[in-house]
Amino acid sequence: MSDVSFLQINRREFLRAGAAISAGIAVGGCAGWPGVQRDGRPNILYLMSDQQRGDCLGCAGNSIIHTPNLDGIARDGVVFSNAYTSTPSCTPARSALLTGLSPWHHGMLGYGRVARRYDFELPRALREAGYYTFGIGKMHWYPERNLHGLHGALLYEARRAETPGFVSDYDKWFKKQAPGLDVRATGLGSNDYRARVYALAEELHPTYWTGQMAADFIERYDKGKPFLLKVSFHRPHSPYDPPGRFMEMYAEDEMPEPYIGAWAKRFATHKEPPAFNLWHGDLGLEQVKRSRRGYYGSVSFVDEQIGRIVAALKKRRMYDNTLIVFLSDHGDMLGDHHHWRKTYAYEGSAKIPMVLRWPRGMGQEESRGTTISEPVELRDILPTLLDAAGEEIPEGLDGTSLLRLVRAGTKRWRAYIDLEHDVCYSVENHWNALTDGEYKYIYHAYDGGEQLFNLKEDPGEIRDLAGEAKYRAVLKAWRNQMVEHFGERGEEFVREGRLVRRPERMLYSPLYPDISSVAMRDAARAPLG
């Protein structure tokens, strides 16, 4: 029994507390028919989880994990089986979502702070197009209340407070709802590899709060124009702390074993940090499975909240006229190749779930319930949502509307997607990569090392082909594509047709809008989320 089981958190009290913290950001207003916008354009429900692996969905072929609500959305839409995040940590991934640009073009090559303003940003573009734009949960922008065109937001930024005096809306709500209780009562850190049952009543969990606030938004919405609602869950990002009933869904014995390649032996040794937040180390199979049990439970908790949000749409008769996209900003290694957390080129870190469901009025019924294998990336979300809204997609974006794949198939799609991350955790963790979903080529910028994996035959990246004579021509072809990809970057990256070692970090490209000594200093000091 929870130590706060005496709290009677009924729906009326919950919504009253939520309304109190969102004063001045009311969603009620113009009268209108439920679910029908005056201009006929669809609502857009933009769902995110944080740090969710691409293989952690039932509809992605995982027979162990319970994600019935996301699987239901997938049956009514499409699953992208080769979806990636080009820069697999929180803030650069969110820059790609915000701008529709590649890392070099939005300027974030690693983990720093999202620029204060870009010339073209998704929320602002849809707001100017007549949408009501609102965000709930983790935005991870800087400053925290810089909303990039959202009309309003209810924020949960985990334990992050980078602006003096900032307190998230969730924390304000928690203090009112549970005075005297400790929001950190479970005792896990924000990048902890351990897993525990959430110590408080599940209605106090930030995952529940995020789902409830989103369902409430939909239930009260009546502006007579379409909305863009971004709902961004912080979990399954650590702490792995689902309520007990979600932990009980899984047995440690049924958790999948980690992929361990012979090439990863050097990452097995580790020094235990006091905060249990190491980035590499062989912690033993028992710990890996325990961590995965908590992680899987966190995914299922998020899935249940998404089910409540979809149910609210259906209750309001909005579902048929709503485009739904679900994705994550990056994955979680969970012990694969003795790695933990993110920022790596490997599948557990860089491959993400992505599901798209479009309104009934858009047609393409024959495409529903299918899987698309072309390589897609977070940069594709902005043009997709503009396309759905009937807005012009500006020239100069690196992303392409995913609805094009739904409508026209795979003709003239990109050949591969580029991935990279600047120095993080260690000077050795500094790399660039390319993948078409079948092969992945990794160039390690620190020492010039290379890796090559056949993802179709070896999805766990256990066998590194880079040193095998049989694959010499394949390796050379991918290396040449990397040289071509770096063509606009100059001699720091390519010299005389050869890739250049880069032992020094480059956190920003010259195209980062806030480029200055102050911005770079501040970004370098930002804690990794």
Tell me the catalytic residues: 90, 140
Token pair in block for residue 73: 């959305």
Nearest CA to 4 out of 245, 197, 204, 239 is that of 204
Q: What is the 3-state secondary structure (H, E, C) of 276-304?
A: CCCCECCCCHHHHHHHHHHHHHHHHHHHH
Cα–Cα distance measured from residue 69 to residue 388, given in angstroms and rounded to the nearest whole number: 22
Cα–Cα distance measured from residue 161 to residue 178, given in angstroms and rounded to the nearest whole number: 21
Type of residue at 336: D
Beta strands in 198-280 (DSSP E): 227-236
Cβ neighbours for 247, distance < 8 A, ≥ 6 positions apart? 195, 197, 293, 294, 297
344 SS3 class: coil
Q: Order of strands across the sheet with 417-421?
A: 417-421, 431-435, 439-444, 449-454
Cβ neighbours for 256, distance < 8 A, ≥ 6 positions apart? 64, 292
Beta strands in 126-178 (DSSP E): 132-137, 152-155
* Residues facing residue 140 across a β-bridge: none
* 290 touches 238 (CB < 8 A): no
Nearest CA to 357 out of 314, 396, 398, 392 is that of 314
Cα–Cα distance measured from residue 343 to residue 43, given in angstroms and rounded to the nearest whole number: 33
